[in-house]
Amino acid sequence: MRRLISASLALFMTTTAAFAQAVPGGKLNLIVQPEPPSIMIGTTTNGPALLVGGNIYESLLRYDENLKPEPSLAKSWTVSDDGLTYTFALQDGVKWHDGKPMTSADVLFSANDYLMKMQPRHRNLMTHVESVTAPDDKTVVFKLKEPFEAFIRGLAFYTMPVLPKHIYEGTDYATNPANDKPIGTGPFKFDEWKRGSYIHLVKNPDYYVKGKPYLDELYYQVIPDGASRSVAFETGNIDVVPGGSVENFDIPRLKDLPNTCTTEKGWEYFAPLSWLWLNNRKPPMDNVKFRQAVMYALDREFAKDVLWNGYGKVATGPLSSKLPFYKDVEPQYPHDVDKAKGLLKEIGYDGKPLKLLPLPYGETWQRWAEAVKQNLEEVGIPIEIEAADVAGWNQRTSNWEYDIAFTYLYQNGDPAIGVDRNYKTSQIAKGNPFNNVEGYSNPELDKLFDEAAVAYPASKRQELYDQAQKKLQEDVPVAWLLELGFPTIYNCKVQDIVTTASGLPESMRDAWIKK
Amino acid sequence: MLRFISGRLLKAVVILICITVLNFFLIHAAPGDPAAVMAGEAGDADPAFLQQLRERFGLDKPLYVQLWIYVSSVVQLDLGYSYRQQLPVLQLIGERLPATLLLSLSAFVISLGLGVAAGAFASARQGKWADTIISLVALIFYATPLFWLALMGVLLFSVQLGWLPGFGYETVGANYTGLARALDIFLHLILPAMTLGLFFMAVYARMTRASMLEVGRLDFVKTAKAKGLRPGVIQHRHVLRNALLPVVTLAGLQAGQLVGGAVLIETVFAWPGIGRLMFDALSQRDYNLLLGVFVVSAAMVLLFNLITDVLYRLVDPRIKVAS
């Protein structure tokens, strides 16, 4: 029997329900911070590029807040019983912004050619794929080498955007002029980019979802100074402040302004988790008891309540609670100064000072570094905070030149995509700030992760991930801090501002303005 | 005069090349490269991706080869390609230069005009109330950090009073044309130009005042007074003109900073100028773009130094330019 997974009906119902009250028309002013280098998300995938480019390009699927796949460019899909064949039926009447029809050839070109050359995340996903084929114009078939259940959650717009074959085939992808004037299938079309000022998108009148998008125009404004961004929202020049684009200490003031709403939703897919890399190659971080002492020393509730205004959640382990297969396993490490001191005494820690490298992402991270320094010094670990800019931070972490370093990473919808890369021995490689930077190696865990990635069905994966989480909780290769909460602050007149697990980049097609 | 100018121009080219080479090594001495930054932003990277980026940007070649490629293209007036923004550097600079020049020149005119006038006015009333007030205000503006003034300006005129726009170059999405657009840009210009101009205005006021008082004590002024010339004529025709030399020197220095001197103000006011382009390029290690901005701003400094030297002769014919 073939399992039919199709959320078309549910989507149809929500679409019509929203359509009953939604009013077309109007424009939105949003902050984009910092200004992206490019909004062609096949090559540039930083947050700001996705925020804008996510409205221009689409993938086969979107995900709801529980990471359940929903139709995007694929209207329905089936998975064979052995979990090896994924067949996608494409939407009818999809056109590129230049008027040419979008077909399965474009999906094939993107998956087999463009993204394989330009996108490391896509390359990783495709290591599990045997072949991508198109029996006809409207059907695409992915044949997997092994039953990689995470695959269905790996088709987000920022891993596998569908790109126009007729524009890119046979050209130099990096310098193609279309990178500057992107052509996608999305609900909004590119109109103008005044560098240093704004990016302007306009409604795609030929969008294949009838009646959408509701908004006529989107302006993404570039305001480089944090205080000025807050003022722009206060004075009504900006309608939407995406999560993470104003300093945390400005948030309480902004959210109390009249007609101001906030939401923490729209980060379920990315599920940003912060931690301290503890360089396991060096003493005393090579000692598991020292690492446990660090965990006990950290007052993470304080960080959440004071530095992050209560947004987010204290991390209970290597997986964000938003991820499938998450489990709150023992042991946990609540703030306990005495336990930390006891462990340090037990291992005879000599009080050697350690260096702490903060994330160079603004004031909050600087203050957090100071709070961590205070926590660690309280239990007797002297800390020296080092300074680095983004380039310096990248170089230091990816070349392992640090003692303790802040980081946060997206977990990308599945532990086999966004989590095991940080702990597996095979992921220890210099030059990459996103893999196993701490240098932790445990063959038992490697085996668990490898098996869990390809186990089928999901219940089998759950068992294996439970064990993996427990193992990691005991070994504490890194010190997990918070599941970060990035509230979106917006004028309450804007409705349906977040409708998918990826938030603002994908939701503008559903957003509308209450008159 | 022509020989002088052409000689100076030739020297300027040599200096410019030296500056370029020096900047090239300085920038490459900073930790991290654009490939690392871009990989960092991508949220995912593998060695193949980094290698691919480095090859694309030519960063895999030895440093001296990169330098040779860069300098030889600069000599041909080609500033190369921005790694990150995937556009030619000249185009990026060209897009931003007008906004910066508008801001800096407005600030320049405001500071020079108001500063010299205030200084002259104060010196004529030495020791009186007007002098004290002008000197005090000048001292305050001279000593206050620019970014603080800028933020206070925004809070007062934009948030509290709502008289002036607090950020940007023009009203986004208004699509004004013609005179309406010019007025819109003018309104946006007032706060940043005034803030940027205040510091130099204070400097000019203090310098003009001091210099005029000094010249006022010289013998030829006494002679003029003895001749029975009116004080206004003495001040304007004799004292001010002779006191302007240090002001011209300073104006030359300020003019040299027209391109790169407004980073802070451009950031606070979201002014789409070249200062911010430079700052972003620096933090992202966009070597070509950063070097390009340096080349352009160094060329501006050299050009304005030359203009200052020529002006010296016009203001004070006693200076023999050829020497």
End-to-end alpha-carbon separation of chain B, Å? Answer: 11
Q: CB of B55 within 8 A of CB of B49?
A: no
Q: Report CB contact under 8 Å: B155, A231.
A: yes
Q: Is the pLDDT of residue A2 over 80?
A: no
Report the DSSP pairing between strands A383-385 and A313-314: unpaired
Ranges of each domain in chain A = 19-56+186-267+487-514, 60-166, 272-484
Residue B82 has pLDDT above 90, yes or no: no
Contact between chains at B31 and A37 (C-beta distance less than 8 A): no
Q: What percent of chain A has pLDDT over 90?
A: 79
B 18-37 residues with CB < 8 A to A: 30-34, 36-37
The mean-pLDDT minimum among A55-69, B51-65, B305-319 falls in: B305-319
Q: Which CATH superfamily is domain A60-166 in?
A: Dipeptide-binding Protein; Domain 1 (3.90.76.10)
- A195/B95 CB distance under 8 A: yes
pLDDT, position B43: 66
Q: Which residues contact B73 (CB under 8 A, 6 or more apart)?
A: B79, B80
What was the pLDDT predicted at A3? 46
Mean pLDDT of A419-434: 89
- pLDDT, one tens digit per residue, over A111-140 is 999 999 888 889 889 999 999 999 999 999
**A208-222, A430-444, B201-215: range with highest mean pLDDT:** A208-222
Confidence of residue A142 (pLDDT cuts 50, 70, 90): very high
Would you give the distance in Å from CA A190 to the centre of its chain? 24
Query: For residues A185 and A58, is the Cβ–Cβ distance under 8 A?
Result: yes
**CA B161 and chain centroid, separation:** 30
- Whether the domain at A60-166 and the domain at A272-484 fall into the same CATH topology: no
Contact A391 B31 (CB under 8 A): yes
The interaxial angle of helices B129-143 and B89-124, nearest 10 deg, is: 150
Is residue B293 within 8 A of residue B278, CB to CB? The reply is yes
Helices B274-283 and B287-315: crossing angle in degrees, nearest 10, is 140
Q: Flag the least confident range among A243-252, A488-497, B309-318.
A: B309-318
The CA distance from A513 to A300, in Å, is: 38
Predicted TM-score of the model (pTM): 0.87
Q: Judging by DSSP bridges, how do beta strands A85-90 and A129-136 pair with one another?
A: unpaired
In this prediction, residue B40 carries a pLDDT of 72
Rounded to the nearest 10°, the torsion over CA A410, A414, A415, A420 is -60
Which one of B167, B169, B280, B284 would you mutate to disrupt binding with A, by most A Cβ within 10 Å of its Cβ?
A: B167
Percent of chain B past pLDDT 90, that is, above it, reads 14
Mapping DSSP onto H, E and C, the string for B23-61 reads: HHHHHHHCCCCHHHHHHHHHCCCCHHHHHHHHHHHCCCC
Q: Do B276 and A45 touch (CB under 8 A)?
A: no
Tell me how far apart the alpha carbons of residues B186 and B169 are, in angstroms, rounded to a whole number. 9
- Tokens 């039953």 found at: A147
Q: What is the ipTM of this complex?
A: 0.80
* DSSP per position, B139-194: HHHHHS-HHHHHHHHIIIIIIIS--S--SSSS-TT----HHHHHHHHHHHHHHHHH
- Mean pLDDT for chain A? 92
How far CA A246 is from CA of A203, A304, A362, in Å, comes to 27, 17, 10
- pLDDT tens-digit map of B17-30: 898 889 888 888 88
Q: What pLDDT, on a 0 to 100 scale, did the predictor assign at position B319?
A: 67
Tell me, yes or no, if A174 comes closer than 8 A to chain B by beta carbon.
yes
Give the pLDDT of residue A92.
95
Is it the case that residue A217 has pLDDT exceeding 50? yes
pLDDT value at B71 more than 70: yes
DSSP 8-state code for residue A283: T
Q: Which residue of B has its CA nearest to A360?
A: B283
Q: Which of A310, A248, A35, A367 is nearest to B284 (CA)?
A: A35
Specify the CATH number of the domain B97-287: 1.10.3720.10
Q: Does B46 touch chain A (CB under 8 A)?
A: yes
For B112-147, what is each residue's pLDDT tens digit? 999 999 998 888 888 888 889 988 988 988 888 888
* Domain residue ranges of chain B, discontinuous segments joined by +: 97-287
Do the Cβ atoms of A228 and B268 come within 8 Å?
yes
Averaged pLDDT of chain B: 85
Q: Among residues A187, A459, A148, A168, which one has the least CA distance to residue A325? A: A459
| Arch. (CATH architecture) of A19-56+186-267+487-514 | 3-Layer(aba) Sandwich (3.40)
Select the CATH number that applies to the domain covering A272-484 from these four: 2.30.30.40, 3.10.105.10, 3.40.50.300, 3.90.45.10.
3.10.105.10
Judged against a pLDDT cut of 90, whether residue B174 lies above it is answered with no
Structure confidence at residue A138 (pLDDT): 96
Of B32, B86, B172, the CB nearest to A197: B172
| pLDDT value for A430 | 83
Which tokens belong to A463?
């068992």
Q: What is the DSSP code string of B182-242?
A: HHHHHHHHHHHHHHHHHHHHHHHHHHHHHHHHHHHTSHHHHHHHHHT--HHHIIIIIIIHH
Positive or negative, the CA dihedral A390, A391, A396, A398 is positive
Q: Which pLDDT does position A105 carry in this prediction?
A: 97
Q: How many CB pairs under 8 A join A and B?
A: 164
Q: Is A114 on the interface with B (CB under 8 A)?
A: no
Does position A292 have pLDDT exceeding 90, yes or no?
Answer: yes
CA distance B307 to B278: 25
